[in-house]
């Protein structure tokens, strides 16, 4: 249950929300331009998606709006399907996010390999920076319909002769100012100063730089009219793959932001990941109806809110209201912002989200095979598609994990002359030394499809001596493991060898019983200890062991067939 915000904390949350709103205003315009949509769409997204997610999300701190992470996906969709497709894809993504939250996928999303996240984030940063070169240089005659990285770069190179000196100067000055100004935390947002300074300079000096209004028209100074005119069921089915990609990326970005926020807050309170997915889903259901584009939580804006004193979701609500007030008061003035200034802001944003120093460190120090995941994800994100990049990165990471898992021994024999055995108490090792007439193996880890072959190869099938298999350290056994263990026990029976499973965990024992393996071993109850198993070697066989010996003597044809 949400706690009531103390009155003394209200002023600092309001102040924090205003600061973040001032940051979000220019960034929302810049990110909308980068995604190929009118600037007002980014502002409406910050207002409506930001407000809904702040109220219904699972994090007290997340600030939601247009983000750089989604820009390549949205730009690709706008170029290939048209701007109107963004609203429909955003609504579908919202439905998927709500479903993910209701199905409790919140924690599962966090298991995405870190190198994959670093890789596609760096690829996104490269795509954003490359996509802003034309505006940064003030080029004319370029083709905005090009969707692939190499095509855009080639188009930029072909039009270098059309560089506009005023735009280039504004862009370089914006990047230089932000690089110096943001070297340490500041109370006044650097992006806001760049927008105000560049706009004032362009008007006072009468610079011939392309502005927002020249490219997109004047920004409306009003609230949007709700509409569902974009909804088309037939087209929705076609857009499902893109919507799923937006939802997955939005989920990862939002949950990462929530984790970072929890760490920065340091008060021990943790976000609810499933509620956060539902909140982000509702935000993406509302935003398209009110003229917005797909949104996620923004890590940088969330961190800025916490640094400014945010302690509750009130900060996110005030952020949305602040952007709304700025839209109603300053939208016409925003049309005079030079596109080169917005491009400079986005280049700095791209540098920040790529975390270039950390990326360089990973490239220098990460295991060479893992670099395949990192570099491959970056290249596929830039050259092909973010959805493919995530799939490639996850599959490659799983393959490398499997490669290491199969090298871990699942079972090891404890020989009579062993003085020590990893993971086996010394008193049990001593018992093994006293009973050379028995085979003693210690199993560990997981008996699964990745280890079943090695497990089968390790255990003796044709040795007639009784086999004591200690299973205390087996945490899980899947169907592949059950089939393999059954086959080993069957072969040993045919060779006259008994099998005793000891120290079996209750959940593993339950799986063995359901599969029928309990009926194949000397102790069907599966409750014998290793010490008791060694002690039974010195006593006459029990009735159950006699029955097991009888079944062996009758041969495999007398045993019931396996399911």
Q: Give residue 495's domain range.
A: 411-558
d(CA 243, CA 237): 10
Domains: count for the chain:
2
Backbone angles phi, psi at 10, to 5 degrees: -65, -50
The pLDDT of 529-539, averaged and rounded, is 80
Q: What is the pLDDT of residue 3?
A: 60
d(CA 49, CA 61): 14
Q: Per-residue pLDDT for 36 more than 70? A: yes
- Tell the burial category of 37 from Cβ atoms under 10 Å away from its Cβ (0-12, 13-18, 19+): buried
Backbone angles phi, psi at 444, to 5 degrees: -155, 155
Token pair 């001596």 in the structure block, residue: 465
Residues 208 and 75 placed together within one structural domain of the fold: yes
Residues 48 and 174 placed together within one structural domain of the fold: yes
Q: What is the pLDDT of residue 280?
A: 97
Q: Per-residue pLDDT for 346 more than 80? A: yes
Residues 135 and 189 placed together within one structural domain of the fold: yes
Residues 461 and 336 placed together within one structural domain of the fold: no
Q: Per-residue pLDDT for 4 more than 60? A: yes
Q: Per-residue pLDDT for 548 more than 70? A: no
Q: What is the pLDDT of residue 264?
A: 81
Buried b (16+ CB within 10 A) or exposed e, 374-387: bebbbbbbbeebbb
The pLDDT of 12-26, averaged and rounded, is 90
End-to-end CA distance of the chain: 50
d(CA 37, CA 216): 9
The pLDDT of 293-317, averaged and rounded, is 90
Q: What is the pLDDT of residue 292?
A: 95
Q: Measured between alpha carbons, how far is residue 500 from residues 282, 442, 460 in Å?
A: 56, 12, 13
Residues 425 and 547 placed together within one structural domain of the fold: yes
Output the six-digit token pair for 196: 């105000």
Q: Is residue 383 part of a domain?
A: no
Between 359 and 558, the more confident residue is 359
Q: What is the pLDDT of residue 409?
A: 65
* pLDDT tens string 155-185: 889 988 898 999 999 999 999 999 998 888 7
Q: What is the pLDDT of residue 539?
A: 54
* pLDDT tens string 44-97: 999 999 999 999 999 999 999 999 888 888 988 998 888 889 999 999 999 999
Q: Is residue 384 part of a domain?
A: no
Q: Is residue 405 part of a domain?
A: no
Q: Is residue 1 part of a domain?
A: no
Give the rounded percent of residues in the chain with a pLDDT score beyond 90.
Answer: 28
Q: Per-residue pLDDT for 33 more than 70? A: yes
Please say whether the beta carbons of 58 and 42 come within 8 A: no
Q: Per-residue pLDDT for 132 more than 60? A: yes
Question: Chain centroid to CA 236: how far?
Answer: 25
Q: Is residue 382 part of a domain?
A: no
* pLDDT tens string 483-500: 989 988 888 888 888 888
Last residue of a domain, one of 349, 367, 385: 367
Confidence of residue 423 (pLDDT cuts 50, 70, 90): low
Last residue of a domain, one of 306, 337, 367: 367
pTM, two decimal places: 0.73
Q: Per-residue pLDDT for 416 more than 70? A: no
* pLDDT tens string 185-222: 777 788 889 989 999 999 898 888 888 888 888 888 88
Please say whether the beta carbons of 386 and 249 come within 8 A: yes
Residues 177 and 67 placed together within one structural domain of the fold: yes
Q: Per-residue pLDDT for 249 more than 70? A: yes
The pLDDT of 96-120, averaged and rounded, is 84
Confidence of residue 355 (pLDDT cuts 50, 70, 90): confident
Please say whether the beta carbons of 405 and 450 come within 8 A: yes
The β-bridge relationship of strands 64-65 and 499-502 is: unpaired
The pLDDT of 330-349, averaged and rounded, is 87
The pLDDT of 391-419, averaged and rounded, is 71
The pLDDT of 387-403, averaged and rounded, is 76
Between 418 and 95, the more confident residue is 95
Output the six-digit token pair for 180: 């110096």
Chain mean pLDDT for the chain: 84
Please say whether the beta carbons of 303 and 33 come within 8 A: no
Between 371 and 327, the more confident residue is 327
Residues 37 and 89 placed together within one structural domain of the fold: yes
Q: What is the pLDDT of residue 353?
A: 78
The pLDDT of 231-252, averaged and rounded, is 91
Question: Chain centroid to CA 554: how far?
Answer: 57
**CA angle centred on 554, ends 552 and 559, rounded to 5°:** 75
Residues 480 and 350 placed together within one structural domain of the fold: no
DSSP secondary structure of 225-289: PP--TT--HHHHHHTHHHHHHHHHHHHHHHHHHHHHHHHHH-SS----HHHHHHHHHHHHHHHHH
- Mean pLDDT is highest, among 34-43, 108-117, 410-419, 431-440, for 34-43
Residues 346 and 466 placed together within one structural domain of the fold: no
Q: What is the pLDDT of residue 538?
A: 62
Between 239 and 124, the more confident residue is 239
Residues 362 and 440 placed together within one structural domain of the fold: no
Residues 456 and 355 placed together within one structural domain of the fold: no
Q: Per-residue pLDDT for 308 more than 50? A: yes
CATH number of the domain bearing residue 415 = 3.30.750.24
Q: Could you tell me which residues come within 8 angstroms of residue 287 by beta carbon, excluding any fewer than 6 positions away?
A: 44, 45, 48, 49, 52, 90, 94, 293, 294, 295
Give the rounded percent of residues in the chain with a pLDDT score beyond 70.
Answer: 90
DSSP secondary structure of 488-536: HHHHHHHTT--EEEES--HHHHHHHHHHTGGGGSS-TT----HHHHHHH
Q: Is residue 101 part of a domain?
A: yes
Residues 233 and 289 placed together within one structural domain of the fold: yes
Q: Is residue 389 part of a domain?
A: no
Q: Is residue 2 part of a domain?
A: no
Q: What is the pLDDT of residue 544?
A: 39
Last residue of a domain, one of 367, 398, 426: 367
Q: Per-residue pLDDT for 339 more than 80? A: yes
């Amino acid at each position: 249950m949400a706690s009531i915000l103390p009155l003394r904390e209200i002023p600092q949350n309001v102040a924090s929300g205003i600061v973040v709103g001032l940051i979000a205003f220019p960034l929302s315009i810049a990110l909308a331009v980068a995604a190929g949509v009118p600037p007002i769409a980014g502002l409406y997204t910050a207002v409506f998606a930001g407000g809904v997610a702040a109220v219904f999300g699972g994090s007290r701190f997340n600030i939601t709006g247009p983000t750089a992470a989604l820009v390549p996906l949205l730009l690709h969709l706008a170029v290939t399907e048209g701007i109107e497709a963004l609203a429909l894809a955003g609504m579908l993504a919202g439905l998927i996010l709500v479903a993910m939250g209701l199905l409790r996928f919140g924690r599962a999303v966090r298991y995405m390999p870190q190198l994959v996240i670093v890789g596609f984030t760096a690829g996104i940063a490269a795509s954003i920076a490359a996509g802003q070169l034309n505006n940064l240089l003030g080029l004319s005659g370029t083709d905005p319909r090009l969707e692939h990285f190499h095509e855009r770069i080639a188009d930029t190179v072909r039009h270098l002769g059309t560089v506009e000196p005023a735009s280039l100067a504004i862009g370089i000055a914006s990047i230089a100012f932000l690089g110096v100004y943001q070297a340490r935390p500041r109370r006044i947002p650097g992006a806001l100063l760049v927008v105000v300074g560049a706009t004032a300079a362009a008007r006072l000096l009468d610079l011939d730089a392309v502005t927002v209004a020249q490219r997109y028209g004047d920004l409306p100074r009003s609230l949007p009219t709700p509409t569902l005119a974009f909804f088309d069921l037939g087209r929705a089915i076609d857009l499902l793959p893109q919507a799923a990609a937006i939802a997955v990326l939005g989920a990862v970005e939002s949950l990462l932001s929530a984790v970072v926020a929890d760490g920065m807050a340091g008060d021990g309170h943790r976000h609810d990941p499933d509620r956060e997915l539902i909140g982000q889903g509702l935000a993406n259901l509302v935003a398209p109806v009110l003229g917005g584009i797909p949104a996620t939580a923004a890590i940088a804006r969330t961190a800025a809110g916490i640094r400014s004193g945010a302690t509750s979701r009130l900060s996110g609500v005030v952020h949305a209201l602040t952007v709304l007030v700025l839209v109603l008061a300053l939208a016409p003035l925003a049309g005079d912002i030079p596109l080169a200034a917005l491009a400079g802001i986005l280049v700095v944003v791209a540098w920040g989200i790529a975390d270039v120093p950390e990326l360089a460190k990973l490239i220098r120090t990460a295991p060479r095979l893992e670099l395949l995941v990192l570099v491959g994800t970056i290249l596929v994100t830039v050259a092909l598609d973010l959805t493919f990049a995530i799939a490639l990165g996850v599959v490659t990471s799983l393959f490398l994990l499997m490669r290491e898992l199969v090298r871990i021994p699942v079972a090891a024999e404890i020989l009579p002359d062993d003085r020590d055995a990893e993971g086996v108490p010394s008193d049990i090792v001593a018992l093994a030394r006293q009973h050379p007439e028995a085979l003693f193996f210690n199993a560990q880890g997981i008996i699964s499809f990745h280890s079943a072959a090695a497990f089968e190869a390790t255990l003796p099938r044709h040795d007639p001596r009784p086999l004591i298999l200690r299973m205390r350290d087996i945490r899980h056994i899947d169907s592949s493991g059950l089939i393999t263990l059954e086959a080993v026990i069957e072969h040993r029976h045919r060779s006259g060898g008994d099998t005793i499973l000891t120290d079996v965990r209750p959940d593993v024992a339950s799986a063995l019983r359901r599969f029928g393996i309990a009926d194949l071993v000397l102790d069907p109850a599966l409750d014998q200890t290793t010490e008791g198993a060694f002690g039974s070697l010195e006593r006459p066989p029990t009735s159950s062991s006699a029955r097991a010996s009888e079944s062996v003597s009758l041969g495999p044809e007398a045993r019931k067939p396996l399911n």
